[in-house]
Amino acid sequence: MAEKITKISGLKVLLGVSGGVAVFKAVDLASKLTAAGALVDTVMTENACRFVLPKSFEAVTGRAVYTSMWENPAGFQIEHIRLADNADIVVVAPATANIIGKAANGICDDLLSTALCACWQKKALFVPAMNEKMWTNPAVQKNVKILKEMGFEIIGPEKGRLACGTEGIGRMAEVADIIAQIEKMIARRK
């Protein structure tokens, strides 16, 4: 059977996964990107690994998952630079208040934040997911504004049921909407 060619076939995606309840959606995103022909390299924070195991991403992408600056599954290379250089686009999903703040302020204390610091010239899409009280915090909004000024794009968050059981803005955007945004970003680049 011939392989289906999509708008993202062959696209090299660096998927940054930070620690929030919406991590389960990131597994689905990785799966759907891979099914559409993208090559997905996943970097998970320590807190993301508390919600979902790296094996989940390995299973759906067929590729190694990176979780530490101190382990090197690809041999002797400076991983955060190699991952940044190899990516056509960076997607951070879910993007917690923590990783948004780190990226906006150049804080590099783990593999994901360090890779993001090296990706500042790449197309990047942040997909926020957090409680409404966190999302509306002026410091978080300031950091989101900084990311936008740096040329990064933001999709979401959406209004709906939050992990704490309340209704409000903070839900991670739906996977189909994220993929549609990636396709738009790639089309603009061409």
Q: Where are the alpha helices (DSSP H) in 36-173?
A: 48-51, 54-61, 79-86, 97-105, 111-118, 132-135, 138-149
Given the residues 49, 108, 119, 164, select the one marked as catalytic. Answer: 164
Q: Where are the domains of the chain?
A: 12-189
What pLDDT is attached to residue 1? 40
Tell me how far apart the alpha carbons of residues 119 and 1 are, in angstroms, rounded to a whole number.
Answer: 37
Residue 67 · residue 19 · CB < 8 Å: no
Closest CA to 26 of 94, 77, 100: 94
Residues with pLDDT less than 50, the chain? 1-2
Assigned CATH class of 12-189: alpha beta
Note if 108 is an active site residue. no
What pLDDT is attached to residue 16? 97
What pLDDT is attached to residue 2? 43
